[in-house]
Amino acid sequence: MEGIILYQSRYGATKKYAQWISEETDLPCVETKRAKIADVQQCDTIVLGGGIYASGIAGLSFLKRHIGRLKGKKILVFCVGASPYDEKAFQEIVAHNMKDELAGIPCFYCRGAWDMDAMNVIDRNLCRMLRKAVAKKEPSGYEIWERALMEAGEERCDWTDKGRIGPILAELKK
């Protein structure tokens, strides 16, 4: 098999990006929880996408668990977050997640969506508590993610953009 797109999506934005990449490459999309390493091992190219939650990339545990069996494969990772792209913040995510055997794997950022109504109770309550804590700060000192959190509030926002997969597609063609 030529390749596969694995993804872990809690609220749909990562799945949307995975499907867009699939449409452009004809590679199948599979949720990480349904992926079988025996099938993934047959692929030359593996693209893994996951949402960013508490600085971690969802689904990355699949790669970490099986990286030894995927040596010599072309592997790419994309992560999806609600904040606008910020080079410093993105590099911190990469440094936090793409270390040890994952160091050097190309990683890309795609902006996702925000929908408090769609969130589970735990995520919704955590976001509300976080907003209360951030609201106590001076707005001029907000980090980019804090500004995005405060601007989104309770509104439904969708920042997904098919154009964000361009760099991923370019890397796949190398």
| Angle (CA) 115 82 91, round 5° | 165
Strands of the chain, DSSP E: 3-8, 29-31, 45-53, 56-57, 74-81, 107-111, 113-114, 157-158
Tens of pLDDT, residue by residue over 20-60, are: 999 999 999 999 999 999 999 999 999 999 999 888 999 99
Q: Can you name the CATH fold of 3-113+159-173? A: Rossmann fold (3.40.50)
Q: Of 49, 34, 106, 39, whose CA–CA distance to 81 is shortest?
A: 49
| Partner residues linked to 165 by β-bridges | none
Q: Give the DSSP H/E element, type plus range, for residue 133.
A: helix 121-135
pTM of the model: 0.87
Six-digit token string for 68: 């030894």
Residue 156 in this model has a pLDDT that exceeds 60: yes
Tens of pLDDT, residue by residue over 65-97, are: 999 999 999 999 999 998 889 899 899 999 999
